[in-house]
Structure 1
Amino acid sequence: MFHKEGQKIIIITFLIVSAIILSAQFYVDLKWMRFLLQVTAIILLISILQFFRNPRRLVTPNFDEILAPVDGKVVVIEEVEETEYFKDKRKQVSIFMSPLNVHVTRYAASGTVTYSKYHPGKYLVAWHPKSSTENERTTVVLHTPKFGEIGYRQIAGAMARRIVNYAEEGEQVTQGQDAGFIKFGSRVDLLLPLDCDIAVKLGQKVVGAKTCIAAIRQKDD
């Protein structure tokens, strides 16, 4: 299953690869050169298909947990001063996606979209400390039943040149639902309340709509 954002690129790539394979077969006399061109073309097609894959993930919404919005590796866990929307301190958990990861963005929690804004910007490498505030990005805030308002940012990286964001203000969304797509390497920041318990560690690999990122803090009896 492939994401709808990749349909045009997949079709164009398939046509180009087909043309290269057929042209090499009929017009390239050297066997090693013909083989090299055809194998390279097939590898290109496989790479594009792999990048735009969209595995189906069944989610039973859990209001007590924040799930990973994307596949990738946790590169930041820290307390930050959020200045765009919350204007207070938040726990930030950042997930870096390499070109090999699934790049579908999924809603980390169920709730109502209260804020959704696109920001043009730079294309610093996604793990750069200033990428959260200086790179091209979208900021989305959800009002959730248990956590109150939580935010996330889709951040373009050095290779990413298009962020797709489906969140619209006032929309009711469900945990695990498709929220967008980032093309060719990027990062997502989660902006969470200070009183939640972070359930992941630095360097941990997470799976979108599967891995628990944070949970409601349990009160002592």
Structure 2
Amino acid sequence: MRQIITILIACFASLICSAQVKNVKKGDVLQVNGIKGIVFSVNEDGTHGQMMSVKAFRGKQDLYCVKSSFLKGVSMLDENDGKANTNELFAYASAKGVSLANYPVYNWCKSLGDGWYIPSINQIKAFVNYWLGNTDVEVDWEEDEEVSATDDSMPHTKVVNNILLEAGGIPFLNGVFTSTLDASKKVDVFEYNKDDGKWKFNKVNPMKIDAFCVGRAFYDF
């Protein structure tokens, strides 16, 4: 019942994100210049946190980059700060005179407006932790985990996905990828098995990020 109430609140009370938001809670839907995001992390007084765009970028080939040579000059190693990775890519493309159209997911992210970015690996893990309904601050991501719903009426994953749908967005499922590139220039892609509740992250060549993958954007408020 508590989770159903959360959905109703999110559906009927879409908050407008401004310089001074108050009493924001996880699961609230905020707007930045018309772009909606679902809050998944927030401080104690509800004034600052992180949200994920309710909409996603998907359904196209070469979502990350259209040509491997366009990634040779970037590192994007930050595992905690997707904004730093995203800004590095923006700066590199600008300095080299390379159109952002060659980086489709970043071009989409840029179109959302200032402040949006493609999340790092640890930021996606933080959202997954919220999506799964975990209450622990730290989660061991070295192994697959099995999730059991904390509310008998509805799994938390469905609660969150219903909020996304009611806000006009796309459910969070497997295929979401990070901005973080590891030393071998691979990205992490989230894989979730809804049948057994297990999940993991797979290392994938950015050139193989395709129509089956999903780009998401985050925003700090």
Return the TM-score normalized by structure 1.
0.24
TM-score calculated relative to the size of structure 2: 0.24
Whichever of the two has the greater Rg, that structure is 1
More strand, by proportion: 1
Higher helix share: 2
Higher relative contact order (CA 8 A, sep 6+): 2
